[in-house]
Amino acid sequence: MNVKIYHNPRCSKSRQTLQLLEEQGIHAEVVEYLKSPPTAAELDNILTLLDMQPRELMRKGEAEYKETGMDNPDLDRAALIAGMVSTPKLIERPIVLANGKAVIGRPPESVLAIL
């Protein structure tokens, strides 16, 4: 089974999710998305798999949300995705992909549903 986690090692939920995967015997491909952000196409696919709109995947409490203008209600899907690619700190974490599905690991146990 191919499993990928978009991971931030400084985030406790992200660390807990990765640990849970390891406890299940799953060796996931770890993508530190702050260092290697997903492309716009990858993020668009992730949003489709999550059945979410871009703003639903954004960390609106981050200062960068307003500083980068992502709070502008007139921005379309492509602009919001581009904003997350250029400022990956805005992407909610962790995101786990497995079996053609995706889930946000909040709580970490939610990833078990797609394994």
Residues identified as active-site? 11
Contacts of 15 (CB under 8 A, 6+ apart): 9
Distance CA 3, CA 71 (A): 32
